[in-house]
Structures are given as C-alpha cells and as structure tokens.
Amino acid sequence: MQQTPPSSQQPVNEAIIIPRRLDPEDAQQALQKLQAILKRQEVVEALAQRQYEEDEKSNLLEGILHRQHENEIKGIINDLHPSDIAFILESLPVDERQAVWQLVNPEFDADVLLEIDDWARESLIKSMDRKDLVAATEAMDADEIADLVADLPPDVVAEVQKGLTDEERAQLIEAMGYPEGTVGAIMDFEMVRVREDVSLEVVLRYLRRLQELPDHTDQIFVVDRQDKLQGVLPVSKLLVSEPEIDVKEVMHTDFLTLNPLDSDADAAGAFERYDLVSAPVIDDQGRLIGRVTIAEVVDVIQEDSQEQALSRAGLQEEDMFAPVVSAIRNRAPWLLVNLVTASVASFVASRFEDTVSHIVILAFLMSIVAGIGGNSGNQTMTMVIRALAMGRVTGSSAWRLVQRELKVTFMVGACGSLVAASFAWWISGQWAIALVMMIAMIGNMLIGAALGVLIPVLRDRFGKDPAMGSSVLLTFATDSLGFFIFLGLASLFLL
C-alpha cells in the first residue's frame, strides 16, 4: 500500500485484532498443555478402537471427550500471538500439526502462514480447503502474497489476483519477478510519501487521516511528481519542527538507498552498520518502488544464521517430523562423503602399521594430534564464514588473513604443544615421543588454520555456500595429514 497526500487516499482495511499474550514462555507452556491434551485424545481413540461390538454409549462418550479436547485446544491456541501459534505448529508431528491447525481461528490464518517456517507451511496449506486458503491469502498484502506464491496452488493464486486492484496486481507481479535472496524479494510496498513543496502542517493533517501508519514508519519519503526520491523526512523531525515550515527545509538529502537487485545479506549488513529501522528501495531511474524494514532484516539474519549452522554439517532445512526417507535423503550425502574421508584417514594410518606395532603408545596419541588440528581449523573457519557473510573478506585480504591465522595458531600451538608433549612423556617415559608429539601437533594446527581460511574462501569464490560441508572437508584434511605427520615423524626418528 503506497500512500501519498492527496485526496485520492485508498481506504485502509480494518486492523486485525491479534491475541493478547506476547510472552515466549506462554508458548512453551501452551505447547506442553497441547501435547498433554493430544496424548489424552490418543488414549481415548485407542480405547474406542478396542470395542469389538457396537456400543452407542462408548461412541457417545468418545464424541463428548473429543469435543471437550477440541474446545480446550481452541481456548489455548487462539489466545496466543500468531508467532507463538507458528512455533507450536512447528513443534508438533505432521498429523497433530494439521489437527491443531484446523482449530486455529481463521482470522489468524494469514499471519500464521507468514510466520511459520517454509518446511512446515507446506503441510498446513495441503490441509486447507480452497475456500479457506483463498480467504487467508486475500487478507495479505501484495509483497506477502509473493512470499507464498511458490507454496500456493496455481488456481488459488489466480483467484486471489482477480480480487486485487490494478496497483496491487502490478506490485505482486513486480515482487514475484525478483530472485530469492535479493532486496526486491523482501521489500514491502507500505510507505508514506509526500511532496517537498508542502508544509509540515499539511503532512500532519494527512497523517491524521490515516487509520494507522505502516509498521516501522520512522521516516516519510519525499518524492517528486515522477516518484523520484528527493529525500527523507524523519518522523521525529516532523514532530518537533514548526508546522508552517516546508518539507524541503527539514528533509534529509543524505540517506541510504537500496536497489531491488542488491543482496538481502548486504542490506542486513547496512542496517546493522547504520542502525537503520527502514530504508527506501529505488530502481535504476531513481524512482521509489518500495522499502525494507528492520522486521524483514531480522528474518534474513535469522534465516542466514540457521542455514549456516545446518550447512556446516552438510544439512538442509527439513521438517524435524518429516518421513524417514526424506530425512535420509537430506543427511546421507555428506555422511557418505564423511565415510569416504574417514576411510582415507584410516588408510593413511594403516601405512604405518609397523611403526604403531613397535611403539603401541602412538595409537593412543595420534588422535590428539588429529583432534586438536581439527578444532583449531574449526575456530578459524567459524570466524571466516561469519566474515564472509558480513562481506568483510575480499580476494586481496584472503592471503593476509591466512598469514595472520598462521601466526596466531603457531603461538597458541607452541604453548599447547608443551602441555601435549608433557602428557606424552608422562605416559610413555620417552622424550623422543614427546618431541615428535610437539612438532606434529604444531604442524597439524597450522594446516588446520590455513585450510580454515582457504576452504570457505575458495567455495565462496566459485559461487558455492562457504559453510556447506566445510567442517567435513576440514576434518578429512586434519585427520589424514595429522596421522601422516605424526606417524611419519615417528617412523623417521623413533625406529
């Protein structure tokens, strides 16, 4: 909804009343209560199935208890904020999720569908009939509909488009045209726009005519007659300035703008750097086409954080109650890669069978060398992946980062290796083994630190997710090379 001050203001829809409670602890307590009710319902259904003969009294009792359980669930779920409802639905198995979803007040359907994660939304949409799905989608803005288009049946999208105004339909088509991961895909069209040649009193009168301001309105956008952005008028400036002053006298002309094809991660970085609440989005001609608010940016940051955590283990986001086959497809590929890499590390160790058979204590010590190298590399890799996400690592700075990490790791490794060497001497009684332990540990830590920088940087350079499977690759290198260095040195100096 784009708003400009003249008289042709579009009517504002009635505000949806949201549930009362906003305490996250309420959602946890509600989840526990719902699970207890669903468990009781399961027991009742199991007892009813044990009736071998028709028993009208038993059937009647089952129906009464079923309705009682449904009323209890409605009383709990519909007293929560849509975000808390989404949390509860995500925490239930698919069949229970769909059963509880049917008891959610229809006026919350749109908000819950927007709040819930993609992997859980699909099951909810499948359980809804076409009429309810159309009603829920029609309550959304154009940018919100665009977020759900991929999950909605084509006939529902077509039906919803018929009810949109020409402006809303154009906004929907525009929002659908931007790739995922760009500013255009997360921007919204709700904003207040004014001309620079009107007084602040006119702006205030215009704002009073609105039933409510768009969420996170911290600034009003100043445009010309071609919708080209001229400046921004902070709401705080509007409230404290003399009402007879024109907008152009108090508006800010130094402000941040975003392009719809900019990365949403870059936009999130800009919001963090400049402490923004909202930012305008302009096209290549300088026309104002939308805005991004802190609400969308928080979602981007959270999603990126979750994706990085999963990617490092070689996983993609999935329904934790998904069928076993689906979970196997998600987890098996990188586990198989890990199996292969672990086999290679074992093969390397087997080449030193004679060394280990002569000095058995090496078999107990070599895992320390491999483990500490992997941990050192993981520390570096975590820092580098975060820096890549923030745009702080470039091609020219990668080598300097490697050098720095090698220096830090060498100093840390030198201190830690003294402890490891002392332990090796204590359990073996040989200074030669302690010295080999010390050298191998420092060497493997340096390898881990170097690869901790190079693996995510190279994956990012080739357009791959720098976090995807990076820990698996690092573990392969530090295990294999750690065994090779430690046992190789032992073969040279101890036999």
**Three-class SS string for 127-140?**
HCCHHHHHHHHHCC
Q: Greater confidence, 312 or 83? A: 83
User: How many Cα atoms within 13 Å fall on the side-chain side of residue 390?
Assistant: 10
CA-nearest of 197, 210, 177, 263 to 2 is 210
Q: Return the minimum-mean-pLDDT range out of 177-181, 187-191, 397-401, 458-462.
A: 397-401
Identify which of 233, 277, 286 has the alpha carbon closest to the alpha carbon of residue 259: 286
- Of 181, 163, 143, the residue nearest 266 (C-alpha): 181
Q: Tell me the three state secondary structure of residue 80.
A: strand
pLDDT band (50, 70, 90) for residue 226:
very high
Domain ranges of the chain: 24-175, 187-312, 324-493
Q: By C-alpha distance, which of 186, 170, 360, 149 is closest to 261?
A: 186
Per-residue confidence (pLDDT) for residue 49, from 0 to 100: 62
CA distance 138 to 295: 22
**Of 4-8, 33-37, 58-62, 124-128, which range is least confident?**
4-8
CA–CA separation, 140 and 255 (whole Å): 30
Query: Does residue 465 surpass a pLDDT of 60?
Result: yes
Q: How confident is the model at residue 9 (pLDDT cuts 50, 70, 90)?
A: very low
- Spatial separation of the C-alpha atoms in residues 94 and 79, rounded to whole Å: 22
User: According to the model, what pLDDT value does residue 443 have?
Assistant: 92
Q: How far apart are CA 443 and CA 18, in angstroms?
A: 60
- In CATH terms, the fold of domain 24-175 is MgtE N-terminal fold (1.25.60)
Which of 64-68, 169-173, 198-202, 450-454: highest mean pLDDT?
198-202
Helix-helix angle 24-49:56-77, to 10 degrees: 170
CATH H superfamily, domain 324-493: SLC41 divalent cation transporters, integral membrane domain (1.10.357.20)
Tokens standing for 317? 């986001």
pLDDT over threshold 90, residue 180: no
Could you give the C-alpha distances from 458 to 190, 333, 399, in angstroms and in order? 40, 21, 12
Per the model's pLDDT, the better-predicted residue between 432 and 472 turns out to be: 432
CATH topology of domain 187-312: CBS-domain (3.10.580)
Q: State the Cα–Cα distance between residues 70 and 73, nearest whole angstrom.
A: 5
pLDDT at 280: 96
Residue 144: pLDDT over 90: no
pTM, rounded to two decimals: 0.67
Rounded to an integer, the average pLDDT of 413-438 is 90
pLDDT value at 19 more than 50: no
Residue 488 has a CB neighbour count (10 Å cut-off) of 17
From CA 387, how far away is CA 70, in angstroms rounded? 49
Which pLDDT score is estimated for 390?
Answer: 66
Question: What is the tens place of the pLDDT at every residue in 181-212?
Answer: 899 999 999 999 999 999 999 999 999 999 88
58-67, 69-78, 175-184: lowest mean pLDDT where?
A: 58-67
CB 247 within 8 A of CB 235: no
- Mean pLDDT computed over 147-160: 87
Q: For residue 394, what pLDDT band results from cuts at 50, 70 and 90?
A: low
Q: 84-88, 183-187, 208-212, 353-357: which has the minimum mean pLDDT?
A: 353-357
Q: How far apart are CA 464 and CA 314, in angstroms?
A: 13
pLDDT band, very low/low/confident/very high, at 95 (cuts 50, 70, 90):
confident
Q: Find the helix or strand (DSSP H, E) in which 231 lies.
A: strand 229-234
Binned at pLDDT 50, 70 and 90, residue 351 comes out as: confident
Would the pLDDT of 278 be above 90? yes
Q: What whole-number distance in Å separates Cα of residue 63 and Cα of residue 61?
A: 5
Q: Residue 384's pLDDT is what?
A: 85
Region of poorest pLDDT, from 5-9, 208-212, 226-230, 249-253: 5-9
Residue 322 pLDDT: 66
Indicate the helix (H) or strand (E) that contains 208: helix 200-209
